[in-house]
Amino acid sequence: MYVEPNNLKSLARAIVASRPDEIGCDECFDQLDRFVDLTLAGKTASEAMLLVQDHLERCGDCREEFEALLFAVQALG
């Protein structure tokens, strides 16, 4: 099996950057509504929910879900 050098570098960076207490996409998604509520209330959601913030910084799919939910809630409010 051949692995592109750039893909191998990305994989190595992800492994080194992983944390023992990080959450997965399912848990992040379950907490997004609370994270959005805290963000809209002007509270520091990233400090209150550090693991969610950390996951959003690492996962483009979950970050897109967060941004879409935030936009939708702002549009309704």
For residue 37, name the pLDDT band (cuts at 50, 70, 90): very high
pLDDT at 15 over 60: no
The maximal CA–CA distance of the chain, rounded, in angstroms, is 52
- Judged on CB neighbours under 10 Å (0-12, 13-18, 19+), 73 is middle
pTM of the model: 0.67
pLDDT (mean) for 44-69: 90
Paired tokens of 46: 């990233």
> What are the CA-CA distances from residue 74 to residues 39, 40, 67, 69, 70 (Å)?
11, 8, 10, 8, 6
The pLDDT > 90 percentage for the chain reads 51
pLDDT at 11 over 70: no
pLDDT at 47: 74
Whole-number Å distance between alpha carbons of 46 and 51: 8
